[in-house]
Amino acid sequence: MDSRPEEEDTVGMLEDVRRKQRRSYPDGGRRTSLVRSLSTLSKKDTTIDPSSLERGTGKYQILDENPTSTLHRSVSNISRAVGLQRSASRASKKSISDRTGRACWEKWVFIGSFIVLNAGLIIMVFFVRFELYVWLLSLSNTIRSLCVLAIILGSIWEGFKNWRRKDKTALLAAEGAAVASKNVLCILPCYTESRMELQRTLDSFAEQATTKNNPNITIAVIVDGLATGKGNDQPTWEICASILGAEGASFDEFTYKSWKRKTLLVKAIRGYWRNVPYVLLIKNKNCGKKDGLIMIRELVLGFNGGRDRGLGRFGHWFAESINVNAGWSTIDYLVGTDADTVITPSSVYVLVKKMLSNDKLLGVSGFVKADLSMGSCLNPWIAYQFFEYVYGQYLTRFAQAIFRKVTCLPGCIQIVSADPKLFDVPLDKFSTLPNPDSLFESVVAFLGEDRRFTCLALYENPNHHTGMSFEAVGLTGVPPNSRVFFSQRRRWFLSAQANNIRDTLNSNLPFTIRLIAASQILASAIVPFIFVAVVYFITRMAINGTNRYWMLFIGSASLVWVYKFFLMVTYPENLKEVFVMFYGFLLQTLFSAPIQAYNTIHALKSMDDMGWGLTRQVSMDFDEIKVDTAAGSPPLREVRPEPVYGLETAQIANPLLPQ
């Protein structure tokens, strides 16, 4: 699923410079680079003209120049680069490891409380009678059992209401006509995905337009920076332009202020692809998926008559694109997905129909399903996540939908209203930078934009709801190994628990939703204790037999286990999914406790790291960043600095050091 790192540009890019130097010059990098530079320049009266990096040139030029001034400039540039590298290294360490003041204090309070709480409870296991702490072990399962009961009763009630409906044929026809009249902007943020991933996702969007009674669809592709993904032979923006048939086309250029208050450039183009209108927006720097979502939501709310957000020419261009290309006067809904996700046919139709079923709906979540075509079903990490996705959504998210307050609309398949009256204030808060001294606020703001935006919308609109549709399915790639898995789960854990704390304390949410959030906080806080206590409990039961307290613990989990078996039998659509469900169930039963315990400890240890980890990797090697650009392609002059002599990069662009 989707995601991308939100590193500081200079810091992250200079780290790649240093790695490249270490690979190229094993004897020290900087010293060898400097010596080679000086020896080369003493033989040639040449230098590289930075002015050749202006728009349309795309190549370095060699100019005759006095060797003394050339040598002086080369030395000063190399010294400047070394100084920038050192300062970047210090900034990187300070931003992650050397936090001081309130942020550092918050981190160690969380870690200290976690250690003391679990140590005390684990000691209690061996010295206190079981009946005095069995309620802690049973609490989480009891809440889950109540969720299962709510799901059963809610499903019976919905079935009864559908049974009582009369003239269903006319009703379906009316629903189809209503859906067909709606205008939907499908949003695709991307960063370093492969051509295959981008092609599959865009194809799945285009197929939505061929559905019977389909809504009017326009695609908005947002490329977050000029990066080249690991394993790709082209930057992501070139891949997107190639797929959409925009190679060599003329791009419009605009400036906008990112949510981090930096002025960035956007290259924009509009057109038609497979008879579907599209807009392609290319940012000249990576500011994270959240920034791209804020940008497009500001454009949409402004187009729909929301407050002026100072977008100027950019806003006018977007409005003209929607008016002229699509022929719309308003945008009704926003459908979002990730660039590694394929949405199944009719998903957009189903989501719009669900939104029309209740005028109080703010948004609806689709069903997220691990894509088994992207890996082997024998891979334990894929099987584990396949079962976990199914069970988690059919339990927690289904229960939240019964209470009409789904607290996370996942970025890989969601629909939200485009009404400025509902989302102007939540978007303002969503785009507000957190207090840098508050670790808790930073975690909420930087790690997990989907849950954060959903919760803000619910806080600001207490009389409105969010829902769930199991018919709209998003097939998404999942981490295939432990390194990427724990990198992703670290973010998810921190974001989920930080927002759970806010949900528990927010009076605008129903008591049931707050209770579920509180139980998830408690269950995560005592994972090591639960693991030790369950092992001890099973051992004691095997030796001494059972009693009424053991039966209380077992009874609290019995309904949950029945529900799991029910899902394993009824959910799979083919034999492959039957195998993966049972395989994943076995893995989840045996290893979920140690996996959760490790992930909790890992997340708390690195909770001051606001990076997105290994989910999306960038290839920043110099030989993969080409100078030559096709005519009409987005010129890179805005991010191309003065070249640094001596790094042997005269034949290629070096966009890694600031001007």
DSSP structure string for 482-541: HHHHHHHHHHHHHHHHHHHHHHHH-TTS-HHHHHHHHHHHHHHHTHHHHHHHHHHHHHHH
CB 365 within 8 A of CB 408: yes
pLDDT of residue 658: 32
CB 88 within 8 A of CB 15: yes
Residue 47 phi/psi, 5-degree rounding, is -155, 175
pLDDT tens column, 161-217: 888 776 666 667 778 888 989 999 999 999 999 999 999 999 999 999 888 888 999
Q: What residues does 220 pair with on adjacent strands?
A: 187, 279
Higher pLDDT, 645 or 315: 315
The CA-atom distances, in angstroms, between 4 and each of 284, 287, 409, 494 are 15, 9, 18, 16
Q: What share of the chain is helix, strand, coil (3-state, %, to 5)?
A: 55, 15, 30
pLDDT of residue 35: 33
Residue 87 has pLDDT above 60, yes or no: no
Residue 38 has pLDDT above 80, yes or no: no
- Intra-chain end-to-end CA distance of the chain, in Å: 34
pLDDT tens column, 509-520: 999 999 999 999
pLDDT of residue 556: 74
Task: State CA 508 to chain mean position distance.
Answer: 26
SS3 33: helix
Higher pLDDT, 551 or 634: 551
Residue 645 has pLDDT above 80, yes or no: no
Mean pLDDT of the region 114-130: 88
pLDDT tens column, 554-572: 777 788 999 999 999 999 9
CB 268 within 8 A of CB 258: no
CB 446 within 8 A of CB 610: yes
Residue 608 has pLDDT above 90, yes or no: no
CA 192/CA 182 separation, integer angstroms: 32
pLDDT tens column, 404-413: 999 999 999 9
Q: How confident is the model at residue 342 (pLDDT cuts 50, 70, 90)?
A: very high
CA 76/CA 64 separation, integer angstroms: 19
CB atoms under 10 Å from CB of 398, counted, come to 20
CB 300 within 8 A of CB 331: yes
Residue 523 has pLDDT above 60, yes or no: yes
CA 609/CA 435 separation, integer angstroms: 15
Task: State CA 96 to chain mean position distance.
Answer: 20
Mean pLDDT of the region 25-37: 38
pLDDT of residue 546: 63
SS3 289: helix
CB 398 within 8 A of CB 566: no
pLDDT of residue 652: 29
Residue-averaged pLDDT of the chain: 79
CA 125/CA 120 separation, integer angstroms: 9
Q: Which amino acid is at 89?
A: S
pLDDT of residue 568: 94
Q: How confident is the model at residue 42 (pLDDT cuts 50, 70, 90)?
A: very low
Residue 159 has pLDDT above 70, yes or no: yes
pLDDT of residue 650: 28
Residue 138 has pLDDT above 60, yes or no: yes
CA 346/CA 445 separation, integer angstroms: 33
SS3 226: coil
CA 270/CA 280 separation, integer angstroms: 6
Residue 499 has pLDDT above 50, yes or no: yes
Residue 304 has pLDDT above 70, yes or no: yes
Q: How confident is the model at residue 386 (pLDDT cuts 50, 70, 90)?
A: very high
Q: Which amino acid is at 437?
A: D
Residue 270 has pLDDT above 70, yes or no: yes
Residue 13 has pLDDT above 50, yes or no: no
Q: Which two tokens stand for residue 448?
A: 């997990």
DSSP-derived secondary structure for 180-223: HT-EEEEEEEESS--HHHHHHHHHHHHHHTTSTTPPEEEEEEEE
CB atoms under 10 Å from CB of 120, counted, come to 10
Mean pLDDT of the region 346-359: 93
Q: Which of 159-163, 293-297, 333-337, 539-543 has the lowest mean pLDDT?
A: 539-543
CA 583/CA 387 separation, integer angstroms: 8
Mean pLDDT of the region 526-539: 86
Residue 416 phi/psi, 5-degree rounding, is -135, 155
Mean pLDDT of the region 632-641: 40
Q: How confident is the model at residue 338 (pLDDT cuts 50, 70, 90)?
A: very high
HSE-up of residue 110 (Cα within 13 Å, Cβ side): 25
Mean pLDDT of the region 608-622: 60
Q: Which of 13-22, 315-324, 610-619 has the lowest mean pLDDT?
A: 13-22
Give the residue from 226, 217, 236 showing the smallest Cα distance to 277: 217
CA 645/CA 465 separation, integer angstroms: 59
pLDDT of residue 51: 37
Paired sense of beta strands 361-370 and 414-417, if any: antiparallel
Mean pLDDT of the region 309-335: 91
Give the residue from 467, 501, 363 showing the smallest Cα distance to 422: 363
